[in-house]
Structure 1
Amino acid sequence: MSIKAIDHLGIQETISVVPAGEVPKKMGSSFFRGSASNFNPYGSDHVKDDFASRFLLKGWTPDKPFISPTTNVTAFGSCFAENISKHLAKLGFDVSKNRDRDIYISSMGEGLVNVHSITQQFRWALEGIAPPTNLWHGYKAEEFDLTEEIRTRTRDVFLNTDVFILTFGLSEIWYDELTGGVFWRAVPMKHYDPSRHKFRVCTFDETKACIQEIVTLIGKHVPQAKIVVTVSPIPLIATFRPIACLTANSASKAIIRAAVDETVRERGDEWAGRLYYFPAYEIVNEAFPNRFVEDGRHLQNMIVPAVMNLFQATFCNTDLTIEQAEKMLKDARLQSANTLDDHALFSQARFASRFGGIVKRLVGRKRAAKSR
């Protein structure tokens, strides 16, 4: 590394660093950085062929893939687990949604969006601890019963699972103040009772406690299983807090992401080679210049396949290589950049630029005419 002192204007001394395969970086020399540093990408790094491997996946993927067509995979929680299930099913892999379509983690898997709803399924199925009634509802506000038949079928799926893929979506919850029970999603209007149904944001501590409990329950009852945790990149459709939705969503995701990170760090030694985080959240939010369609929540159609291919290349035993997945990601990112032409703000910017150019030319011609 070469050291270059910046003049006497009070700016700290910097070190010029050239990591292999990256554009040169600069860092302050006033603090010890350890034997290795992983830098935030510069603009030019984004066109590198190994961008995802270097700046998004590094440190999170297994030494070698461990999901094969004969691996029993159980994926549920938020809508991104649904995407993983569909992708693996298309590859002919064994996913729980195909093994038993009628249990709740299959029929309502993507509706289990908070940590409490996912924890409820593990407590109920594996240890027979039922949550308070009237908390589980489908998309049409239908109520789901806590029948022993569904519980034992869910338990059987869990006990025969080799890999759990769990996606946590949001921190905003509705709960029954009388029982303390948390709803899967929001409270159906026909059941809403303002005297007992309340809203709050999950704290970091309770979020982490739920995730830790899930890991503990799997370790106790399904000790052979591996766990892959993800955070859904899909934002809130609305917040029930008296603040702007974009800021509420930022807080909601931050709570989950921090709790996941701390769980993986704390349980890493105990669960070495069995507990993983896949950075779907960061891939979507950091790699694509235009992530969502007009509604601000549904991803552009090139994004999900690109993320799933990265998962497949790093976690699954298939012919897809990481180099091929990186190429697909890069192509998808270029397509995403092209969709900016349709973004309302960019369309307005182009109009303003064209209009400004016309005005400038007209003014120039008028001035030229006056000078004559």
Structure 2
Amino acid sequence: MVYVLTALGTQETIGASPHGQQRKQIGSSFFRGEDCNFNPYGQDHCVPDFAHRFLLHGWLPDGPIINAKTKVTAFGSCFAENISNHLGSIGFDTSKQRAKDIYVSVMGEGMVNVHAIAQQFKWALDGWMPPSDLWHGYNAEQYDLSEEVRTVTRDVFLNTEVFILTFGLSEIWYDETTGGVFWRAVPLRYYDPSRHKFRVCSFEETKSNIGETIRLIKEHVPHAKIIMTVSPIPLIATFRPVSCISANSASKAIIRAALDETMRELDDDLRQDVFYFPAFEIINECFPNRFLDDGRHLHPMIVPSVMRLFEATFCDTELTLAEAETTFRQARLEAAGTLSQHPLFSQPA
């Protein structure tokens, strides 16, 4: 990298020229550290390796860790469901196909908080029994603590080679009497205001549950690798007395910060087995018009482009990163074109 001293007003600046990037202007007064990765300038978005350079850098394994024979278990929030569907579509082996009736399959994108994900591992691998009446499906149907389902889930986990876990939100409902946390909100027909309460999951308990999940996996399935992601899908509503947009920002920030600190604190051995895939950043930072009119479902060109970036970097297929980058760029351009359909931007200036 070449640095050139110039002046900007009264401040001396350095003109930095990272290889393949638009020239950057930064203040010269402060040491920039051994690693200095710049936020992209406008022209940087046009480089053919934008995703690899500005989004994926630092988060990838040395080589593919998933092939057609790798046993993958993916669940949590929406990304896990999307990756299960994508891997299944290209002939890869996912738990959703191997064991369709276990809860991590039927509720693949419905276990949206860190407690819900950790519960499955404690229940299946350690035999821990959660308080009853906490687990419900998409239509509020109640799931029991079936020993048969637990045993099948345990066997699926023990034979898994790669776990993909997606954390969705920090707003949780819990049973004040037992302390147990619901997978999702409290079903209306079961709601009891005397015992069912709401809170925002703290940074400390978020990080603790993520750490406990990693610990359980590595204790019981030491050969397994773990890929963690954050769902980009916002809250449909908040139960806090503040705007949903600001509550969603806090909800995601808690998860993202806890994941980041967890990753930074991994020892050298775990760094070879635990990864973060930045689906949250890819979608929220690169698509100016991400969602359909409901504000939550992504435009149809977005998910396939993110799945191809994942495939090209984590999976052993013929898809190259250059090809995935091309799809990603095309999706960004196509999504930007939808701005003219947005109710606000379609209005005359």
Smaller-chain TM-score bracket: over 0.9
- Partner Cα separation in structure 2 for residue 274 and residue 176 of structure 1: 35
Give how far 1:149 is off.
Answer: 0.7
Q: Which residue of 1 aligns with 2:303?
A: 304
Q: Match of 2:14, SS? A: strand
Q: Which residue of 2 aligns with 1:61?
A: 60
Does residue 1:156 correspond to 2:158, yes or no?
no
Q: Match of 1:38, SS? A: coil
Q: Aligned pair in 2 of structure 1 residues 263, 36: CA closer, same or farther (>3 Å)?
A: closer
**One of 7, 24, 47 as aligned partner of 1:5:** 7
- Partner Cα separation in structure 1 for residue 137 and residue 63 of structure 2: 38
Q: Which residue of 2 aligns with 1:285?
A: 284
- Partner Cα separation in structure 2 for residue 268 and residue 336 of structure 1: 40
- Partner Cα separation in structure 1 for residue 341 and residue 142 of structure 2: 41
Q: Which residue of 2 aligns with 1:258?
A: 257
Give how far 1:319 is off.
Answer: 0.3
Q: Which residue of 1 aligns with 2:179?
A: 180
Does residue 1:114 correspond to 2:123, yes or no?
no
Q: Deviations over 1:326-347 (max 9, x none)?
A: 0000000010110011011111
Give how far 1:7 is off.
Answer: 4.0
Q: Which residue of 1 aligns with 2:335?
A: 336
Does residue 1:324 correspond to 2:326, yes or no?
no
Paired residues of 1:231 and 1:281 also in contact (CA < 8 A): yes
Give how far 1:19 is off.
Answer: 0.7
Scaled by the length of structure 1, the TM-score of the pair is 0.92
Paired residues of 1:268 and 1:275 also in contact (CA < 8 A): no
Give how far 1:46 is off.
Answer: 0.8
- Partner Cα separation in structure 1 for residue 9 and residue 213 of structure 2: 54
Q: Match of 2:74, SS? A: strand
Give how far 1:47 is off.
Answer: 1.2
Q: Deviations over 1:9-55 (max 9, x none)?
A: xxx32100011100000111111112341000011111111110010
- Partner Cα separation in structure 2 for residue 299 and residue 121 of structure 1: 28
Does residue 1:165 correspond to 2:169, yes or no?
no
Give how far 1:199 is off.
Answer: 0.3
* Structure 1 unpaired stretches of 5+: 353-372
Q: Which residue of 1 aligns with 2:198?
A: 199
Q: Which residue of 1 aligns with 2:238?
A: 239
Give how far 1:270 is off.
Answer: 3.1
Give how far 1:4 is off.
Answer: 1.0
Percent of residue pairs bearing the same amino acid type? 66
Residue correspondence of structure 1 range 198-217 to structure 2 within 5 A: 198-217=197-216
Q: Which amino acid aligns with 1:139?
A: Y
Paired residues of 1:175 and 1:182 also in contact (CA < 8 A): yes
Q: Which amino acid aligns with 2:8?
A: I
Give how far 1:268 is off.
Answer: 4.5
- Partner Cα separation in structure 1 for residue 129 and residue 260 of structure 2: 28
- Partner Cα separation in structure 2 for residue 322 and residue 287 of structure 1: 17
Q: Which amino acid aligns with 2:345?
A: F
Q: Which amino acid aligns with 1:260?
A: L
- Partner Cα separation in structure 1 for residue 291 and residue 31 of structure 2: 40
Q: Aligned pair in 2 of structure 1 residues 266, 36: CA closer, same or farther (>3 Å)?
A: closer
Q: Match of 1:75, SS? A: strand
Q: Which residue of 2 aligns with 1:42?
A: 41
Q: Deviations over 1:342-372 (max 9, x none)?
A: 0111111xx23xxxxxxxxxxxxxxxxxxxx
- Partner Cα separation in structure 2 for residue 254 and residue 270 of structure 1: 27
- Partner Cα separation in structure 2 for residue 327 and residue 142 of structure 1: 43
Q: Which residue of 1 aligns with 2:229?
A: 230
Scaled by the length of structure 2, the TM-score of the pair is 0.98
Q: Which residue of 1 aligns with 2:130?
A: 131
Q: Which residue of 1 aligns with 2:91?
A: 92
Q: Match of 1:313, SS? A: helix
Q: Which amino acid aligns with 1:73?
A: V
Q: Which amino acid aligns with 1:170?
A: L
CA RMSD in angstroms comes to: 0.8
Give how far 1:179 is off.
Answer: 0.3
Q: Which amino acid aligns with 1:278?
A: F
Q: Which residue of 2 aligns with 1:365?
A: none
- Partner Cα separation in structure 2 for residue 147 and residue 185 of structure 1: 19
- Partner Cα separation in structure 2 for residue 130 and residue 199 of structure 1: 22
Displacement over 6 Å in runs of 4+ = none
- Partner Cα separation in structure 2 for residue 5 and residue 268 of structure 1: 43
Paired residues of 1:17 and 1:24 also in contact (CA < 8 A): yes
- Partner Cα separation in structure 2 for residue 212 and residue 36 of structure 1: 27
Greater fraction helix: 1
Q: Which amino acid aligns with 2:170?
A: S
- Partner Cα separation in structure 2 for residue 196 and residue 270 of structure 1: 43
- Partner Cα separation in structure 2 for residue 72 and residue 7 of structure 1: 58
Q: Which amino acid aligns with 1:5?
A: A
Q: Deviations over 1:87-110 (max 9, x none)?
A: 000010000000100000001121
